[in-house]
A = this chain, B = another copy of it.
Amino acid sequence: MRPLFLITNDDGYQSKGIQTLVNIANELGDVIVMAPERNSSGLAHSFTGSRPLRVYTVIEENSRKIYACDGTPVDCIKVCTEHFCPRKPDLVLSGINHGSNSSINVLYSGTMGAVIEASVSGMQAIGFSLLDFRPDADFGPSVPYVKKIIETVLKKGLPQQVALNVNIPVPDDGIIRGIKVCRQSHARWLDSYEKRTDPHGRPYYWLSGRFECNDDGEGTDQRALLDGYVSIVPTTTDYTHFMQMQAVKDIFPEGDNNRHII
């Protein structure tokens, strides 16, 4: 039986990146796409509970079905798995995102929100992002790497509750060097909201920002990407800060916080 892929993204079902991914996956198996009907960047792990979802059929062929949904990328994973997949997908793919989801961007990313949701639900999942946010970005050089990574995961599998955050560089010379498994670089967005005044004299605030990363040493995703490698970060669904667990236990020693003290 051909593998079944469930594919989503956060740029919308018509974007060039998801079309690239669908074409790659369709060479390897059957494809069901459910993706947002419009751009949904920055929606992270949000889901829709307060209103119902609508789903629109775009294409229904034997080995390729495409649906658009008016929800978030996480919604797409949830509703598609239950109502549109004939069986549990062998692999969930998200992207290829127009723009980086490396480093701290994973927190804000709808592309990776969908991947983490699939992982929580016990499915194997990979998010792909290209470091070019333009609508007409050239996905050509990334194709053999995306295909290789999908084939490898189909063959070898992933550990339970481990999703992959794959970012693909756009080197100046056009040559991608290979693949590196990395940790997430520590970084932040230095936000700046421009305060403007509307035609009625009322203020509004519009976000812009600058990415600041001082953590690009060996072993980080930023280093791999700067060096022209595809970065793969194994991504968890457990946000416990295990390395600081004891430090926080020391801050709240159990005896100090019994109810007779409070």
Residues of A within 8 A of B (CB): 39, 41-50, 52-55, 74-75, 78-79, 82-83, 104, 106-108, 110, 113, 116-117, 120-122, 144-145, 148-149, 152-153, 156, 158-159, 161-162, 164-165, 175-181, 183-184, 186, 188, 191-193, 195-196, 202-207, 232-242, 244-245, 247-249, 251-252, 254, 257-259, 262
Tell me whether A44 and B41 are in contact in the complex, defined as CB-CB below 8 angstroms, given that A159-B247, A183-B242 are known contacts.
Answer: no
Q: Check A177 against B259 for contact (C-beta < 8 Å).
A: yes
Instruction: Decide: A52 and B191 in contact? CB cutoff 8 A.
Output: no
List, sorted by A's number, 21 A–B pairs whose CB atoms are closer than 8 Å: A41-B49, A42-B47, A44-B45, A44-B74, A45-B107, A45-B108, A53-B193, A83-B193, A83-B195, A104-B120, A107-B116, A120-B188, A159-B241, A159-B244, A159-B247, A175-B259, A178-B262, A183-B245, A234-B241, A234-B247, A236-B240
Q: Is A106 touching B239 in the complex (CB atoms < 8 A)?
A: yes
Q: Is the interface of A mostly helix, strand, loop or mixed?
A: mixed
Instruction: Report yes or no: A252 in contact with B152, Cβ–Cβ below 8 A.
Output: yes
Number of chain copies forming the complex? 2
Task: Name which of A178, A195, A205 has the most chain B CB atoms within 10 A of its CB.
Answer: A205
| Cβ-defined contact, B152 with A251, below 8 A | yes
Query: Given A78-B193, A159-B248, are A188 and B241 also a contact pair (CB < 8 Å)?
Result: no
